[in-house]
Amino acid sequence: MSSHVLNRSHLLLSRSRSTVAAAAATASRHSAWQGTQAVPADPILGLVAAFKADAAPRKVNLAQGAFRTDEGLPLVLPSVVEAERRVSSALASGAIDKEYLPIEGDATFRTLSAKLIFGDESAALAEGRCATLQTLSGTGAVSVAAAALCRMAGARTIHVPDPSWGNHGHIFRSAGLEVQNYAYLDHRTGTTLDFDGMRAALSGLPRGSVVLLHACAHNPTGIDPSGEQWQELAALFAGRGLVALFDSAYQGYASGDLDADAASVRAFEAAGVLPVACQSYAKSLGLYGERIGAVNFVCASREEAEAVLSTVKQTIVRPAYSSPPLHGARLAAEALAPSTASVSAPAGGSTPLSPRRQVLGDAALFAQWRGELRGMANRVHRMRVLLADALRAEGAPSPDGGDWGHVVDQIGMFAYTGLSASHVDSLRERRHVYLTRDGRMSMAAMKPADIEYVARAVRSVLAE
């Protein structure tokens, strides 16, 4: 037999053995995920990906809630840059290290965060009745709160405004809570608050019902109750024994005033309600990627607060992620402290501002941050005014029959335009302007250079 024939026989045999081995390996390989079906992309993050893939020479991304400069660039606040410098200097000198934080987080950050939302006059803080934990931004805060309400308080249902942030439902269902909606947006206009419907719905809830409230700058509508309406709601919650879960993602960023944006939470505490308040510093400090937030449980006594803190730590946080992020908490604590004189330890925590943390808590940096917050809020409001003026100049009919005044009157980073899902689809497909399908437009991402283009695009789809 020739060498050519032998070589060919060996090659065929080798291939046959490889095929058999591969088939055997495939047959014996069992995947635990073989029944898993792909799910649709996140409605907001999916739009961001679609925008990036869009090859159109002119396109505008108004879908994602992230602040941009007038030039459309991400902003790192100067106060945060200074905080980074201080933390880096302290690290280089050996004054601080990179060890784990406690399960509940950085004591200084927790104390300052609770004080920021409840204020100097808070009885709960003065009496040590608030259990505060550092969390993985606002999403983590709401997740921890939901788990605690379900496992520790026995909640089975949570009542959420219609509409609400898209991720709220996912968070609550993952925690084991049934989600029910209560009236919020007046669907007759699509741009105003249905306060009568909201009050009627909440008045009919059983005692002990858990209700989600947006502390300020309601997402997605940008429509908040008035100060008087918040006072009325606080009295309603106190009288009916309802549990208030506040999501505060925009304190200081909504109106430019830290105290005004926390007035709802403070009104509830003053009325005798024991709220749960969730905080995020993604927007107000621009710490999107640092994942810094807090959850605050106001309790009936110091002993109860300490029990809540220890239980949340050991049964919810420890099994989930053990310890929150260190670096972002240091940055936030730099900016959050107006002074160090009146800061007291949180419930169950060690005394803050130890010698290793004297770098934290600077009045000048806090004042600088407050000024930057006002600047961001003012820029967003300016974009609202410019857009409304441009829409009027284009002759675009407002979906609510008005003159686009609702775009100016709303608060926070989003404008709830009143555009339908079909209008939004047409904007994206024909004009390459990206909004979420409920008509929510990110005014924080709007550039002055895009105002006229967006207004013209809106007019064109409304005329179709």
Which residues are CB-contacts of 321 (< 8 A; sequence separation ≥ 6)? 136
Radius of gyration of the chain (CA): 26
Catalytic residue among 115, 283, 438, 450: 283
- Single out the residue of 287, 237, 284 nearest to residue 262, CA to CA: 284
First to last CA, the chain: 80
- Most distant CA atoms of the chain, gap in Å: 101
Helix H, strand E, coil C: the string for 83-108 is HHHHHHHHHHHCCCCCCCCCCCCCHH
Distance from C-alpha of 271 to C-alpha of 134, rounded to nearest angstrom: 26
Distance from C-alpha of 424 to C-alpha of 132, rounded to nearest angstrom: 41
> Is 165 a catalytic site residue?
yes
Distance from C-alpha of 37 to C-alpha of 30, rounded to nearest angstrom: 16
Catalytic residue among 194, 224, 247, 261: 247
User: Residue 334 half-sphere exposure, CB side, CA atoms within 13 Å?
Assistant: 25
Is residue 71 classed as helix, strand or coil in its secondary structure? coil
Strand spans (E) along 352-436: 414-416, 433-434
The string of DSSP codes covering 441-463 is: EEGGG--GGGHHHHHHHHHHHHT
Asked whether 233 and 199 are in contact (CB, 8 A), the reply is yes
CA dihedral 75, 76, 78, 81 (to 10 degrees): -160
Task: For residue 131, list its beta bridge partners.
Answer: 297
Distance from C-alpha of 427 to C-alpha of 419, rounded to nearest angstrom: 10
What count of other Cβ atoms lies within 10 Å of the Cβ of residue 107?
25
> Is 247 a catalytic site residue?
yes
- State the catalytic residues: 165, 247, 283
